[in-house]
Each structure stands twice: as C-alpha cells, then as structure tokens.
Structure 1
C-alpha cells in the first residue's frame, strides 16, 4: 500500500450547518469510498483499513450532530451527505462510491432517491413541516453504492424492536402481561436457551408494536401542532410568551426498545445469528436499560426518523430510485437484517447492475463463530473484487 495522506475537513452545507470528515488517500488512488451514517461517528469504521489496503481513498463523514440523534432529521442528514459528495467531486477522483452500513444504507438510498430528481421535485420540508434546502443543494449521484448489512430504516427497525407491553408511556416498568415478551407464560425461557413463541402470540405482538407506534405518532403530531400554533400566534400578536412556546423543545421519551422477538427466539426468521440483540446478550434485561433505538427524540425527529408511519427514509421505499451500480452484502449472522429483508431489498433496488452476496458475520462485522474470519474481513474481500471489476 502506498503512503496514506490523511486530512481533516470542515464543510459548510447549503443551509449553513457544519459537518466534518476525514479523507485518507493512498498515493495514486483513483476511487474514493465514502462512509456515512446518520447517527454514528464512522471515522474508525472497520472497513477503512481494508479499503486503504486495496488502494482506495476513504472519506468518513459525520452528520451535523453525530452520536446525538435527539433531533435527527433525515432530510437534513442527506443535505449533509450532499456536501460530502460535492466536496469529493472537487478533489479530482475518477469515481466516488458510497458504502452504507446498517442505517447508513438507508441514508444512501434516501440520498439517491432525492439526488435523482430535478431540484424542483425534491422534498421541500420534513414530515413535521420544517423547510429543508434539498432544492438548493448540489447533489451528485455516486458512481456506485455498497449496501452492507442494511437494515430497513430507523422507523421500520424501531417498529420491530419496540416493546408493545408498555401500558403507560410515563412508567418504564408498566407492563401488559399478555404481551410481555419476557414472560414464560408467553414462550420466553431464560438466556441463553432460545425461547419459543407460538404463531398467535407473534401475530398479536407485532400488531401491538404497530399500535404503540401509532399512539406515539399521535403525541408527536400534537406537539408539532402546538409548536406551529404558538409560532402563528407570535406572528400575529408578537407576544414573547408565544415565541417562547414556539421554541420549547417537545421531547418524547420512548421506553423499552430492545424487544425484537427474533433476538431471543432463533427459530423466527432463522439465520446464523447468536442469541441476543445489537445491544447485548440479555435483551430481557437490556430492554429496561438506557441503550436502544429512538429512546429520546423531539417530535420532529420522531416523525422524520423513528416513525415507520411518517419517515421518508425507508429502504424499500427509496430503493427503486437507486439505479447506479449496486452491491448488497448480507451478513449471515445479522441480528437486525434477516434473509427475507435482503430478498425484498434485492427485488426493490432499481439498478440493472446489482450484485447480491452473503458472508459469515454479525451485524457490525464480527465473527459468527470463534476463530473464524470477521464479517468485515470477508466482506472487504468481496467489495474489493466488486470495485476492481468496475474500475
């Protein structure tokens, strides 16, 4: 591998936000692979050294609020994504390829959906009504996309993992015993043995998960409407009390979001995944702890990112607009994306140049079995071949 030059950059987006990125470039690199996730800092993503070793430059970028998704608006995140792509086009690389891992995959698909439209046809507002500058943004399409361990989108994912047995959104310990995923009466057995839920319970549980999302949707809508009413009142009367009411962040806590039945019943949508969730080996305990998706968000972020009802960042919704050469990499031990998801994503992607492959690995690129190569190592070998074939 040639010597790698590393530079750090702060970019201004079209709506005057600041985003940062790190560009690592081996001498003579003609292709740059860009890695971005809407919620996480990917500076030290596991794929970086593998791509550099293959002679490709790597751009790792954050959104305007990395590691803080309290007010994560996906429409703003793709404005951030656009700033990085425009920057890379100006660096003189022959090819810019996006690598979207996990939630970064849906972000990349959402970006492509909007970038493929004429500026006047792009979204002008978030689901809550906040104006977004997509029409003004320079949005170059990537020359190719690698979707690695893609999950279906933050909203669709939350619907899968939210605990529907919560009966009181103000009480994290409230529970409806008939829906409790960790009750032996419903099929749960203590870890690490796999639980066994019957078909009737699974159907009732999933319907109740959707119903809980809808109840939180109603809270979010009420918050957004209250904020808008206060802003309108201020515009009319210029009363400072209305201005304050319009500025108050209306935050929604969501308890217990580590309760996907598939994480403890390995017979559901089977693959090679280990027992446990993305957050730990004991979902029956972790579900009551701090980690989890969508645990605290503004009403606007709920509507843009976490509600499957209102978010526009949904892989299957965005995928038909992805027409650039694409690679879909499944991890056979994934705890968040399952074989049926990969099949549906493959069918939905609009690219005529689509490669679908699978490697042994867990969602974040770990090994399925002790002593075996990591998923990241196996995926890197296949991604390198795919990139070389299109150089």
Structure 2
C-alpha cells in the first residue's frame, strides 16, 4: 500500500533514475549493418553502422567500459541525417582487464573502416568516460607513428605505432569527466583502513558520519573546509597505496614470466599466467554528491549510482571495484593512467564542441572551465544544456538533457560537416 508522501515504487530502488528513459525520435529509411573488425594486434571488435539515405557525415561513439549500441543520442543524430557508428571494444561491458592503450586500438579499427567506407567526414562523439577515450585517441592519432606510446603503464607493449589511426574531422565531448583515474580518486572512500575488509573505517575520515558533518539523506550536507581538505588528501593517499600494491603485483608477474623464458618450467608459466586482481571497496563517496555547495551546479542530491551514496558506497556497484593490476595502472590510477582528459586536451586540435550538462553529478563546472582552457582546438565551442550526467531532465516536465544536447550538437555539426 502506498501512503501519502511515498515516492513511486521505482524511486524506492537505490539506483532508480540513473539513466535517461525514452528512445528518441523514430527514424525511417535507415540501413543498419553489423561489422566485425580485426585490430592491429589481432583482437576482434564489432561495430554497428546506421546510415540514413544520402548521409555523407558519420558520427562515431565508443565508451571504454560500456556497449553504446543503443546510446540515447543515436536516434537524434539519425533524425538530422547523419550516419552513426557505435563502436564496441574487445571486451564489452567487462572492464576487468581494461587497458586504455588497447581500447584506442579498438577505436582505431572503427575509424579506419569508416574512412574506407568513403564518408566525407568522421566526427567523434564521446560521452562521459567515452569523452576521455576520444581525447586520448585524438591525442595519439595526431602523433606520427614512432612518436606514440609504445607500452601501457605496466610495461606491456602496445601496437599504437603500428596502427592506422585516422584523425577525426571533429570532436564532440558531452559531459566529459576528467578520466577514470581522476574520477576514481574523487569518489574513493579514504576511511577504508583495511583493503581486505569492506566494512573497515577510520571514523575521522568517514564521509557519512554525523560527527564529520554528514546530514542524513536527503537533506544536503555542509562539510567544513578542514574536513574537505583532509578528506581529499586521504583520498590521494589511498590511491597511492593501491598503486604500490598494483605495481608489486605487476612486477611479480613479469618476474615469473622472465623465469619461465629462462627455464621453460611449467610451474613458472603458471605463476606468470595467474591473474593478479586488485579489489577496491567503497568507491561511491564523492563529497560533492551530498554537499551540493561544493563546486555547485544544478545537480540533484545523490551520485551516478543512486540517490543514497551513504548506502551505495557499501554495495557492489562502483568504479574500479575489481581489475587486474595492469588495468588499475592503465585505467584507474590517476597517477599512472595515460587516459586523462586534462593531459590529453592540448593534443586535440580538430574542431571541438565541449558540451556540459548543468546538473551533472560527475563533471563539474570547474572541470569544464579547466577543459576549455586546455583543449588545443582553434575552433572550440563551449556550451551547456540542462540535464544530469546521463541526460535525464532536471525537472519532471522538462525535455531530456539528451534532447537538448542533440539540438546543440546538430547546430554545431551542420555548418562544419554537412550531411
């Protein structure tokens, strides 16, 4: 039975309202095809190509961790006459061993295919973590072979210098967060005292302790500046501790591999092959998700993972929760990753649209200001539309953020890259 004042049943779920609903406009006359591609290092990836009649410009989307085949912007882009390519990775929806240096090889295979198809223009559209992936791709693609990265942060060789990496004609960055490593440092709970115990806590750093200023949800909290400073310093320290553990695991695996090459011993080979997994508890604890006065915008209370970070922080979902040590170094450590939006931005020189959602819970006004100052494009447009990180409307009767974003994207695309 529902009592007066109760929220609808769907809102009772912790993760309710995370993603935008609705399929966008219906579009007819679109030819859809699925393609399997082989990357330069031999991985198999797939992509879905949707082509309205006569389309000469294609917009390509990819995310390092998620399948974007049915991204909310696809029907809006098709409705304006642009073709859309949604790129898959070598391990879709599984980031256990996500190396960004390999992910951009996957992206490169799609870009090369689209050039072979003969489109007049290829424009990359990166949303959220896909924006950092796209910036990383643009940065590396702009370099001549031989000047690109030769290894991942773990030392694993990567074939970027052997890859065909066509530079896109333009780039759209929608709600870009700063990169998965920088994002994780923001959301990681520094009060964890034992990496093997998900319930361990240092009370002085507990973000959800009343003694530290937390106010029970959904009332916004107002932390003291002293607590915020200590908290952020402790977040960085926890990441450094995990960095050290990951580096030790990588060194252990590489030593076993060297021993196998010397001896040929099967036991050493087993030691080299054994997965070295980094488990990170409690990664939904960005103070800004409950203290709306920090880096203020129009965001609602709550995080990307739900309306109660004080609860979801202890749950299964979250960033960087489980990965190989190599993936930690490539993707989740702000200190070792190459996929950092701010560091990649100067290498992005193609015409660029940087588009903010004004109620974003992961990309904040200070981020957009920093990104706009760092991007290397001479043709740079910075704009904003109402919406949350995944494009939901800010109010019940408002158009979705994705619908509003599509209008800005179309206005930017058409003069530069006609359909």
TM (normalized to structure 2)? 0.93
Aligned partners of 1:235 and 1:49: how far apart in 2? 52
Verify: 1:160 aligned to 2:186, yes or no: yes
Aligned partner of 1:24 in structure 2 is 50
Aligned 8 A contact 1:9 1:22 in 2:
yes
Aligned partners of 2:414 and 2:143: how far apart in 1? 29
Query: Is there any run of 5+ residues in structure 2 with no aligned partner, and where?
Result: 1-26
Query: Is there any run of 5+ residues in structure 1 with no aligned partner, and where?
Result: none
Aligned partners of 1:54 and 1:214: how far apart in 2? 47
Residues matched between the structures, number: 391
Verify: 1:15 aligned to 2:65, yes or no: no
Alignment of 1:167-316 (within 5 A): 167-316=193-342
Aligned partner of 1:317 in structure 2 is 343
Aligned partner of 2:379 in structure 1 is 353
Per-residue Cα deviation, 1:284-330 (whole angstroms, up to 9, x for no partner): 00000001000000000000000000000000000000000000000
Aligned partner of 2:124 in structure 1 is 98
1:23 shift after superposition: 0.3
Aligned partners of 2:261 and 2:166: how far apart in 1? 38
Aligned partners of 2:338 and 2:394: how far apart in 1? 33
Aligned partner of 1:110 in structure 2 is 136
1:240 shift after superposition: 1.0
1:158 shift after superposition: 0.1
Aligned partner of 2:24 in structure 1 is none
Aligned partner of 1:37 in structure 2 is 63
1:2 shift after superposition: 5.7
Post-superposition, which runs of at least 4 consecutive aligned residues in structure 1 deviate over 4 A? none
Aligned partners of 2:209 and 2:164: how far apart in 1? 52
Verify: 1:365 aligned to 2:411, yes or no: no
Aligned 8 A contact 1:33 1:58 in 2:
yes
Aligned partners of 1:53 and 1:113: how far apart in 2? 30
Aligned partner of 1:5 in structure 2 is 31
Aligned partners of 2:415 and 2:369: how far apart in 1? 24
Aligned partners of 2:59 and 2:149: how far apart in 1? 26
**Secondary structure in structure 2 of the residue aligned to 1:185:** helix
**Secondary structure in structure 1 of the residue aligned to 2:109:** helix
